[in-house]
Amino acid sequence: MKPVTKHKQLNKWVRDMAVLCTPDKIVWLDGSESEKKRLEKEAVSTGELLQLNPKTLPGSFFHRTAQNDVARTEHLTYICTSKKEDAGPTNNWMAPKDAYDKATPYFKGAMKGRVMYVIPFSMGPVGSPFSKIGVQLTDSLYVVLNMRIMTHMTSRVYGKLGTKGAFTKCLHSKADLNESRRLILHFPEDNAIWSVGSGYGGNALLGKKCLSLRIASHLGRNEMWMAEHMLIMGIEDPKGQTTYVAAAFPSACGKTNLAMLVPPDELKKKGYKVWTVGDDIAWLRIDDEGNLRAVNPEAGVFGVAPGTNSKTNPNAMATVKKNAIYTNVLLKNDKSVWWEGMDGDVPSEGWDWKGQPWHRGQLDSNGKASLGAHPNSRFTAPIAQCPSLSKKFSDPRGVKISAIIFGGRRARLTPLVFEARSWQHGVYLGATMSSERTAAQFGKVGELRRDPMAMIPFCGYNMGTYFQHWLEMGKNLASPPRIFHVNWFKQDENGKYLWPGYGENLRVLLWMIDRCRYQKSATETAIGSIPNKGDLDLTGLNLSAESWEQLFEIDQDEWRNEIEDQKKFFGLFGPATPREIWAEQKALSERLGLQHTASSGEKILQPV
């Protein structure tokens, strides 16, 4: 097939990559509806997709990944910069030449007998000043059809590129799906991504984490904006005023759920509404008035299936009713799907995520319930199908952000909510985020992991420098958003969640809006401000006084250990850790009445 653009560099790159991967054919895609139908048919004929029941799930498909390919593989993900310190201590690093040399044999001939698809896409509405263009080459129809949902995929981007425009070169091949020949490589200096040996979402849909976070965070640092692992939502009050907030939680810690929140009845009756702008990624820029504005660069949702039901997330359930792709869920005999925690009765039988026959009550070899769906099974669907989609979703200027929220999954330590004392203190709160590991990445579930701004797997450069960039952004904001920290996951001594979560989280957001808009007073504590008793609207909740105490308890011993752990972590970055971060930590220790001992990293910066 002939190239469809006069962009010489783009055409040469496609030709060169075809010489390397030796596909039987190159197909230039345009993102049209007729093309979609044709590709779906083809994917069904090869078995890559299975058409689901057209009555109950119209336009929807089912896919199983390889069993060794069900989550992002962070240990095989690299930032390839000329200098190692530019990647920093929390990223895997390879020199660009070594990385190209290592991956070249994996790509060599990998597309033989296959088609190489050329996907033109924009992250962000085509033509918005926020947006960036990418072109992905791939040999996977599953990837093509997911990218078609997740990005603004259209040949119109060739018009925008003209003959010389900048774009991210994204090369992907599932190759032989062999884990020992799998690599996810980022070349920020070349504006390029090479991903080989995986067909899983975050590894293979290169517009998502690879471009919109790792490459974009690097671009953002150079161009004075930010690419963040954040949802964006609007909260409309009974007077019709909408306040927009952005929130960073680590993978599988509640972004999609919060972004699509449905107000509990008591608050709905009062007239509150919630509008979804984005559920995973935010690009943030400072406008001419010094406000922070955000767009969602994506066009779809790639959400965690287990636990999603019409109580926890009715908007997500409505979003995935049609034109969806389901990955690694349980397939029922009537060609519909199921996952643990879905509505209704547990099906009596079906096919589990591995493709094995499964029945209700089945136990695995350890005597534990055998899972029908993989814990990281996912759905992909156009965000335009979300009933709570914000009218501002496509606004090229984005929405004005009034509050930034950080959060993690901590059974203990951090209270339900507290507010930073300043932007700088807020950056420290983001930098000290930590969370118990989930199934969204390979590794031991439940283990505590430091995850600043939920970006540890996604920051495309040295994270110490990244903290500095956050501080610089604050200096350039006329009125910086207020910064909050939340923990929906605090547990009592029996391991029961103390807070009901989900829709009820709106109560916490309304307190934040009171703080942002109406400067309502709060109770100062050593770690930040918490709501005065009575200021969090709890009508209809039945939260006991004891639960409230536990939700807001600040335990000295736990904080002492926490601070020691933080010191080790910040010490990792050496001189790249900003002075302001150490200063905030020292001030916190003092407020907590702990004796402050300087850590080695801090001593480097603050000679006494």
Using DSSP bridges, classify how beta strands 357-359 and 349-351 pair: parallel, antiparallel or unpaired: antiparallel
* Beta-bridge partners for 380: 302, 325
Q: For residues 471 and 451, what is the distance between their CA atoms, to the nearest angstrom?
A: 18
Nearest to 403 by CA among 527, 510, 253, 487: 510
CB of 112 to ligand SPV, least distance (A): 28
Nearer to ligand GTP, 225 or 502 (CB): 502
Please identify, using beta-carbon distances, which residue of 152 and 567 lies nearer to ligand SPV: 152
The CA distance from 485 to 531, in Å, is 12
Q: For residues 490 and 498, is the Cβ–Cβ distance under 8 A? A: yes
Q: Residue written as tokens 């752990």?
A: 565
Q: Which two tokens stand for residue 608?
A: 């006494």
Q: Which of residues 254-293 bind ligand GTP (CB under 6 A)?
A: 254-257, 279-280
Q: What is the DSSP string of 463-486?
A: HHHHHHHHHHHHHT-SSPPEEEEE
User: For ligand SPV, which residue of 7, 36, 63, 72 counts as binding (CB under 6 A)?
Assistant: 72
Spatial distance between the Cα atoms of 282 and 229, rounded to a whole number of angstroms: 6
Contact 244, 232 (CB under 8 A): yes
Site string for ligand GTP, 234-253 (x = CB under 6 A): ---------------x-xxx
Residue 302 is a binding residue for ligand SPV (CB under 6 A): yes
Q: Which is nearer to ligand SPV, 219 or 454 (CB)?
A: 454
- Residue 208 binding: pick among Mn ion, ligand GTP, ligand SPV, none (C-beta 5-8 Å cut-off by kind): ligand SPV
Q: Which of 31, 134, 202, 254 binds ligand SPV (CB under 6 A)?
A: 202
Sheet with 378-382, edge to edge strand ranges: 50-51, 61-63, 325-327, 378-382, 300-304
Query: Which sign, positive or negative, has the C-alpha torsion 484, 276, 442, 491?
Result: positive
The strand ranges marked E within 210-257 are 226-228, 230-236, 242-248
Q: Point out which span in 123-131, 289-297, 303-311, 515-523 binds ligand GTP (CB under 6 A).
A: 303-311
For the chain, give the number of residues. Answer: 608
Assess 228 for contact with Mn ion (CB under 5 A): no
CB atoms within 10 A of CB 117: 23
Q: Tell me how far, at minimum, the Cβ of 317 lies from ligand GTP, in Å.
A: 12
Q: Look up residue 35 and give its amino acid.
A: E
What residues from 304 to 363 belong to the interface with ligand GTP (CB under 6 A)?
Answer: 304, 306-307, 312
Q: Which is nearer to ligand GTP, 250 or 464 (CB)?
A: 250
Which residue is nearest to ligand SPV, using beta carbons? 202
Residue 72 touches which member of Mn ion, ligand SPV, ligand GTP, none, C-beta under 5-8 Å by kind: ligand SPV
Structure tokens at 397: 């200027």
The tokens describing 339, both together, are: 């996952």
Q: Which residues are catalytic?
A: 253
Least distance to ligand GTP from the beta carbon of 269, Å? 21
Select the residue interacting with Mn ion from 280, 419, 580, 584 (CB under 5 A): 280
Q: In whole angstroms, how close is the CB of 235 to ligand GTP at the nearest point?
A: 16
Q: Which residues of 36-63 are buried (b: 16+ CB within 10 A; e: fewer)?
A: beebbeebeeeebbeebeeeebebbbbb
Q: Which of 251, 308, 414, 585 binds ligand SPV (CB under 6 A)?
A: 251
562 binds Mn ion (CB under 5 A): no
Nearest-Å Rg of the Cα atoms of the chain is 24
Q: Least separation, in Å, of the C-beta of 480 and ligand SPV? A: 26
How many residues make contact with Mn ion (CB under 5 A)?
2
Q: CB of 150: closest distance to ligand SPV in angstroms?
A: 9
Contact 149, 381 (CB under 8 A): yes
DSSP element (H, E) containing 547:
helix 545-552
Q: Which does 478 bind (CB under 5 to 8 A by kind): ligand SPV, ligand GTP, Mn ion, none?
A: none
Nearest approach in angstroms of CB 454 to ligand GTP is 8
Which partner from the list Mn ion, ligand SPV, ligand GTP, none does 202 bind, CB cut-off 5 to 8 Å by kind?
Answer: ligand SPV
Report the alpha-carbon distance of residue 273 to residue 513 in Å, rounded.
Answer: 13
Residue 208 sits in the site that holds ligand SPV (CB under 6 A): yes
Minimal CB distance to ligand GTP: which residue? 501
Contacts with ligand GTP, residue ranges (CB under 6 A) = 249, 251-257, 279-280, 303-304, 306-307, 312, 440, 488-489, 497, 501-502, 505
Contacts with Mn ion, residue ranges (CB under 5 A) = 251, 280
Contacts with ligand SPV, residue ranges (CB under 6 A) = 72, 201-202, 208-209, 251, 280, 302, 440
